[in-house]
Amino acid sequence: GYHADRWKKLLLTKSSPVKAYFDTSEEDPFCMYNYLLDITTWNKSIRRGFIKVKITDYNGNTIESEMNNEASTFQQYKRVKILTGFYQDIEKISKISLTFSTKTLIGPKHKLRILQMKLKSLNNPER
């Protein structure tokens, strides 16, 4: 592997902000399976919040993603791509559940209406 301090010099020379995602190992404690969630929403009002993804296989095994630290902005008919990670992997997915949260305790509860959704494994892109 590469040490993170070697990447810092390379990334700081870029003129625009850069996000870098590093692949992890298959052994604990660094095991993480990355997925790209690509969704288009249907709400007329703009919603800002966080998405948590839960996937289930045909045997009923369920895993839940880690909550993203950055809130996403959802607008009608606009695609949003979110990187999400799991500590385990599921090969054949039978069910995908999304939970939308604004992380606020006061104020009205909002729903996020999904028009289209795609979940792609970045570790196994052939899936």
Q: CATH number, domain at 56? A: 2.60.60
The count of structural domains within the chain is 1
Per-residue pLDDT of the chain in tens (127 residues, 90 and over written 9): 455 666 666 666 666 666 666 666 666 656 788 899 999 999 888 888 889 999 999 999 999 997 677 889 999 999 999 988 888 888 899 999 998 888 777 766 778 899 999 999 988 888 8
d(CA 11, CA 82): 21
Query: Could you report the per-residue pLDDT of 37-59, keeping only the tens digit for each?
Result: 999 999 888 888 889 999 999 99
**pTM of the predicted protein model:** 0.71
Contact in structure between 38 and 118 (CB atoms under 8 Å): yes
Residue 52 lies in a domain: yes
Sign of CA dihedral 43, 112, 51, 101: positive
Burial (0-12, 13-18, 19+ Cβ within 10 Å), 53: buried
Residue 83 lies in a domain: yes
Residue 127 lies in a domain: no
The confidence score (pLDDT) of residue 1 equals 47
Residue 126 lies in a domain: no
Range of the domain at 46: 4-121
